[in-house]
A = this chain, B = another copy of it.
Amino acid sequence: MARAAREGIAATSRGEHYEWMAVTGAPLRLHDNRLLPAEPAVRAIAHRLYEAVRDLPLISPHGHVDPRVLLDDEPFPDPATLFVTPDHYVTRLLHADGVSLEVLGVGTSAISEQESREVWRRLCEHWAIFRGTPVRYWLEHELVEIFDVAVRPSAQTADMIYDQVAERLSQPAFRPRALYKQFRLTVLATTDDPSDDLSAHAALAADPSWTGRVIPTFRPDRYLEPALPGWREAVARLGEASGVDTGDYAGFVRALEQRRQFFIAHGAVSADHSHPDVRTDPLEPSEAARLYRAALAGQATPEEAVAFRRHMLLEMARMSVEDGLVMTLHPGVRRGHHTATAARLGPDTGSDIPIRIEYTDALRAPEAMRRFRAAVTETVGFSRTSGFVDDTRAFCSIPARHDMSRRIDAGVLAQLVAEHQLDEEEAMDTAVELVTKQPSKVFKL
């Protein structure tokens, strides 16, 4: 797919012709060498390394795709809902450029075709503001590789691109399961609430027509933070789901242990933790029990709530040692920063910002990925890293993100080869291991 576009020839759709060049002089192409180092000798090495991994299967051991997307296998919604409205990286920049979040459909449960088309026009009109950002890099990759778009988004081309993407989305080859295969995904981890019954995962596993692998991830954040609204209701739900009385601390711990086992039985390999910090200060069991009682009674102070969470994070580590769930940490995100927006439009509407410590976002954008890879490798080599984690809820962006990562790693390795710090054969071996052995080993897949 999109081979033609990659070679710089205007794309022709199956069955009909889009006469792109008649509309606009700006083609949209993905250059074969994009993101590879510019110096010719280094680029040549990087290209050889990249070629060795470009078509290898994708392992996605940590992300936020809804499992029902693959269970139901319904067509993806309209282009705006697919690419714009739920992506706060996109809406944030459009908003900063003067487009209201409401016009972009943020906070709306469903938008009409007319509204979707309007949102899409806003995106295309403001295309220039995304220059140099990874958002643009991913969107271009998706438009070209998945949807055969061969013209740069602009006010003039917005409707035409909308039509082409919408038409594609209606075809069977663009349904989630077909794309899962086309993307060469071999495993896709979701992120799930400990009280979730994992029925979507169970139904997928029981479906004889489904040959992929979608696994849950245990994410107990909200159960460990008594200061968050709804915490008491959450631990009550946890009691129901586990069949263990969470009326006291011992039951709470047992219920968490029980749900981890339930997740493991449904294929989970890791637990994900995102808190304001990663401190782990153990409490005496009696003190932990006291704080839990106070929290249930709505009488825990903010300091006590933090102390309880730091204690529980260590408990999570203890459980991981015992039951083997790989522990991933994503600290340092201040959620709901802009109180008014969060209240008006709900979570994930542009109101999360990174605070002091941040690892995951450091992996996102090309320059940041290069710095991360170079800095971490100097300290621990390549063998201590898990390989790329796409960490996305945007299913269609998964190949673009992995491809970016493979290009960046090819470039970093090529630089090491060009500076004679590594033989090319070793670099080749490392490039392949980073997308095969490393994620499988680290996530016990």
Contact = CB atoms under 8 A, between A and B. Distances in A.
A71 B382 CA distance: 40
Contacts of A37: 38, 419
A34 B420 contact: yes
Interface residues on A, range: 35 or more
Contact of A38 (B30, B36, B41, B368): B41
A97 B383 contact: yes
A381 B38 contact: no
Interface string A68-107: 0000000000000000000000000100110000000000
A38 B35 contact: no
A388 B430 CA distance: 31
A24 interface: no
Interface stretch (A110-118, A132-140, A284-292): A132-140
Given A93-B381, A367-B378, 14 more contacts: A31-B420, A34-B419, A34-B420, A38-B41, A38-B418, A129-B382, A129-B384, A131-B416, A132-B421, A132-B422, A133-B379, A136-B381, A137-B421, A367-B375
Interface of A: 26, 30-31, 33-42, 93, 96-97, 128-134, 136-137, 365-368, 374-375, 377-384, 415-416, 418-423, 425-426, 429-430
15 contacts: A34-B421, A35-B419, A38-B415, A39-B39, A128-B426, A129-B383, A130-B381, A131-B422, A132-B377, A132-B378, A132-B421, A132-B422, A366-B421, A367-B375, A367-B378
